[in-house]
Amino acid sequence: MSLDIETVRRIAFLARIKVADEALEPLAGELNGIIGWIEQLSKVDTDGVAPMTSVADMTLTQRQDSVTDGDCREDVLSNAPDREDAFYTVPKVIE
């Protein structure tokens, strides 16, 4: 399988990473190098093998479903690159 320029453009949009038009082709080359190398996995027989879901051999612990955190609005907002009062700001999304 090989990634063409349109595929790279599509996944770059899915990942919301701007890639300049002239950078698409070299990037496709790099990604194809990696994907081509990864494809050796197709040689491994995995019939009947369950996919790993957890590397740790343990059951997730449970806790009381109670509020343990909160009342820290200023903390949460303190690193926002742009804010207005108690809100984050984003470019206009509704016309």
Partner 1 sequence: MSANLTYLTIAEARDGLAGGDFSAVELTEAHIEAIGAAGDLNAFVTETPEIARERAAASDKRRAGGEVRGAMDGIPIVNKDLFCTKGTLTTAGSHILDGFVPTYESTVTANLIDAGSVMLGKTNMDEFAMGSSNISSYYGPVKNPWRGAGGKDLVPGGSSGGSAAAVAARIALGATGTDTGGSIRQPAAFSGIVGLKPTYGRCSRWGIVAFASSLDQAGPLTRSVRDAAIMLGAMAGHDPKDSTSAPIDVPNFEAAITGDIRGLRVGIPKEYTMDGMPAEIQALWEQGAAWLSEQGAECHEVSLPHTEYALPTYYIVAPAEASANLARYDGVRYGLRVEGDSLDAMYENTRGEGFGDEVKRRVLIGTYVLSAGYYDAYYLKAQKVRTLIAQDFSQAFEDVDVLLTPTAPSAAFAIGEKMDDPVAMYLNDVFTVPASMAGLPAISVPAGLDSGGLPLGLHMVGKPFDEETLLRAAGALETAAGFDALPPGLEA
For residues 19 and 12, what is the distance between their CA atoms, to the nearest angstrom? 7
The CA–CA distances, whole Å, from 13 to 9, 16, 25, 47, 83 equal: 6, 5, 15, 34, 26
Question: Which of 22, 71, 75, 85 touches partner 1 by CB under 8 A?
Answer: 75
Question: Which of 22, 66, 71, 72 touches partner 1 by CB under 8 A?
Answer: 72
Q: With binding defined as CB under 8 A, does residue 54 bind partner 1?
A: yes
Q: Shortest CA distance to 29 belongs to which of 12, 8, 10, 15?
A: 8
Smallest distance, partner 1 to C-beta of residue 43, A: 8
In the complex, the residues that contact partner 1 under the rule CB under 8 A are 1, 3, 7-8, 11-19, 27, 30-31, 33-35, 37-42, 44, 46, 49-58, 60-61, 63, 72, 75-76, 78-82, 88-91, 93
